[in-house]
Amino acid sequence: MKKKFLLLLSAFLLVLGLASVSSKTDAATIKATDWGAKKVFTTPKKTRGTWYYKEDKKVKKFKITAYTIDGVKLYKDLNGKTSDKWVNKLIKADKKANYKLADKVGESAWACHTIKYHKITGFNADGWLAGSGDGFYYVTVKKNVKGKKVNALRVGEGAGNYLSYYAYKSRKLVK
pLDDT one-digit tens code per residue, 3-33:
443 444 344 433 434 333 333 334 346 776 7
pLDDT in tens, 119-149: 999 999 988 777 666 789 999 999 998 889 9
What's the chain's length in residues? 175
Q: Smallest Cα–Cα separation from 109: which of 155, 40, 22?
A: 40
Segments in the chain forming alpha helices (H): 2-28, 80-96, 101-108
Q: How far apart are CA 80 and CA 15, in angstroms?
A: 43
Say what the pLDDT of residue 13 is.
39
- Residue 121 to residue 138: CA distance in whole angstroms: 9
Whole-number average pLDDT of the chain: 79
Of 2-6, 69-73, 88-92, 142-146, the one with minimum mean pLDDT is 2-6
Measured CA to CA, the distance from residue 128 to residue 74 in angstroms comes to 9
**Residue 9 or residue 165, greater confidence:** 165
Identity of the amino acid at 150: V
Q: What is the pLDDT of residue 48?
A: 97
Q: Report the candidate in 127, 87, 133 with the shortest Cα–Cα distance to residue 108.
A: 127
Averaged pLDDT for residues 85-99: 75
Cβ-based neighbours of 168, under 8 Å, separated by 6 or more: 51, 52, 53, 143, 145, 150, 151, 152, 153, 174
Residue 29's pLDDT is 66
CB of 174 closer than 8 Å to CB of 168: yes
User: Residue 109: what pLDDT?
Assistant: 86
| DSSP element (H, E) containing 125 | strand 120-127
pLDDT band with cut points at 50, 70 and 90 for residue 40: very high
